[in-house]
Amino acid sequence: MADKIISVYWFAILIIVAGGIIAMVNIFYNSPYDVREIEAEILTNKVGDCFSDLGYLESGIFDGQGFLINENNFLEKCKLNFNTPEGDLQYYVQVNLFQAGDLENSFFEVLQGNKNLKADCFISGEYEKLSKCVEKGFFTLDKSGNLYLIKILSVIDKSEKNVK
């Protein structure tokens, strides 16, 4: 009799454990893979390559007199396509150039994409629904040997595809 009671409890425990495992597995597999950080890294590198080649400012971006890139031709010059099936813009890119002597004040800036996404980068805390931001900086030279710091901020939203 005691054995039967134990086995009834045993199966009750098994059902509870199985229920827990099924619930955990469902939660885990129903959450999409979040690749936005990697995507933002790649976007930053891509924009970096667009501005600088082998340590020198690209001639298609800076001709020695002035900058040939602006908000209207940024996507074309950097060979980017920000169209997504989600409709509204899911990307934001900001590039700032600083002269070596003054790393506080940017003397050239170009922005592209959904400007509203930038605000997400300044919210502290781990909120999955927020856009992912990646900022990188590197030094480069122009043909005359002047040194510049290029800072690139890339932001990717795409929360519908990456967050439940």
Partner 1 sequence: MKKRGTILVENIIFIILNLLFLSILVLFLVKQGSGAVLLEQSYAKQIALLIDSGEPGMTLKINMEKAKKLSEKNGINFEEVVKIDENLVTIKLSEGSGYSYSFFNDVEVAPPYTDGEFYILNIDKKWQIK
Smallest gap from Cβ 134 to partner 1, in A, equals 13
Smallest gap from Cβ 72 to partner 1, in A, equals 15
If the CB atoms of residues 90 and 96 are measured against partner 1, the closer one turns out to be 90
Count the neighbouring beta carbons within 10 Å of the beta carbon of residue 8: 10
If the CB atoms of residues 95 and 148 are measured against partner 1, the closer one turns out to be 95
Smallest gap from Cβ 52 to partner 1, in A, equals 15
Buried b / exposed e along 87-110 (16+ C-beta atoms within 10 A): eebbbbbbbbbbeeeeeeebebeb
Smallest gap from Cβ 77 to partner 1, in A, equals 10
DSSP code string of 118-142: GGGGG--S--TTSPEEEEEEEEEE-
Query: What are the tokens at 123?
Result: 């919210």
What φ, ψ does residue 57 adopt, rounded to 5°? -60, 135
If the CB atoms of residues 45 and 106 are measured against partner 1, the closer one turns out to be 45
Instruction: List interacting residues with partner 1 (CB under 8 A).
Output: 3, 7, 10-11, 14, 18, 21-22, 25-26, 29, 32-33, 35, 38-39, 42-43, 45-46, 75, 79-85, 91, 161
HSE on the CB side for 147, CA within 13 Å?
Answer: 6
If the CB atoms of residues 148 and 159 are measured against partner 1, the closer one turns out to be 159
